[in-house]
Amino acid sequence: MRIRATVAAVSGALALSAFAVPAAHAAAAAPNVTFSNMKVNSGTAVTLGATSTAKVKATYTVTHPSTVSMTNILTGPVLYRGTSAQDADTQVVSDDPGTCTKVSSTTLNCSATITLPANELYNSDAGTWKTGGVAFDTKANTQKWQSDLGTIPVRRAAKLTADATPEPVKKGATLTITGKLTRADWQHGTYTAFGGQSVKLQFRKAGTSTYSTVKTLTTSSTGALKTTVTAGSDGYYRYSFAGVSTTSAVSAAGDYVDVQ
């Protein structure tokens, strides 16, 4: 039931499909339904790689007067950026109407899948999206949009590397740990440098399961990281990035160092 893909793909025009909602009929009333309990991706952030497509589940409740028949009314979740689900600049609606189960004469519990392809997003679309709902009366040709049902973070995936040299190393000698932080560039389908970010160098002693922070660094304009430490014992070094509102958290794979 996708109404409009993002502005990156269709410049705000309606992207109609078999379940698209046509313009509302001026003489008829909108469907008398109310959305609540909207939850997208179980409330967790949606993270998209440079070329990935996320299919996320949305669940919601629809209530209506007992006198209103739902036979001709389709419903679905909406993800959008802006002030209104209906007039959003960037808006994605589920590709198919929600599948609903009747709970009572006035309540339905529904679920639907929303598809978010990275190649239809601007990098500036990363951040907090709002959730809403849309109902379409197929007989009366009318629709109702409901905004501000919640929020969901949509983030660019990050990658991080770590390499400690030399290996092996003598105890008390200097180890150099290099790495690089990059993140998904949705508009170009690749990963690009993420500079100016705070990243922790961490160490896990061999035979243990917990990393501890050694020091904190800032990535260069090219996303590069480089620092030195004094080799003390066998173990794993890694860089760890906590993430920001637009970009996911990530930790590099630990690089094992044999200290002799």
pLDDT digits (tens, 9 = 90+) for 128-163: 999 999 999 999 999 999 999 999 999 999 999 999
132: how many CB neighbours lie within 10 A of its CB?
24
Indicate the pLDDT class of residue 28, thresholds 50, 70 and 90. Answer: confident
Query: Nearest to residue 18, comparing CAs of 136, 121, 146, 132?
Result: 136
Can you list the domains of the chain with their CATH numbers? 7-155 (2.60.40.10), 158-257 (2.60.40.730)
Which tokens sit at 78? 């909406």
Q: Which of 93-97, 99-103, 190-194, 220-224 has the lowest mean pLDDT?
A: 93-97
Q: Whole-prediction pTM value?
A: 0.88
Helix (H) or strand (E) holding 9: helix 7-10
CA angle (8, 14, 18) in 5-degree steps: 120
Residue 154: the pLDDT is 97
Partners of 215 in beta bridges: 201
How much of the chain, in percent, has pLDDT values that exceed 70?
A: 90
Indicate the pLDDT class of residue 90, thresholds 50, 70 and 90. Answer: confident
> 231: alpha, beta or left, given left = phi > 0 and alpha = psi -120 to 50?
beta
CA angle (132, 80, 28) in 5-degree steps: 50
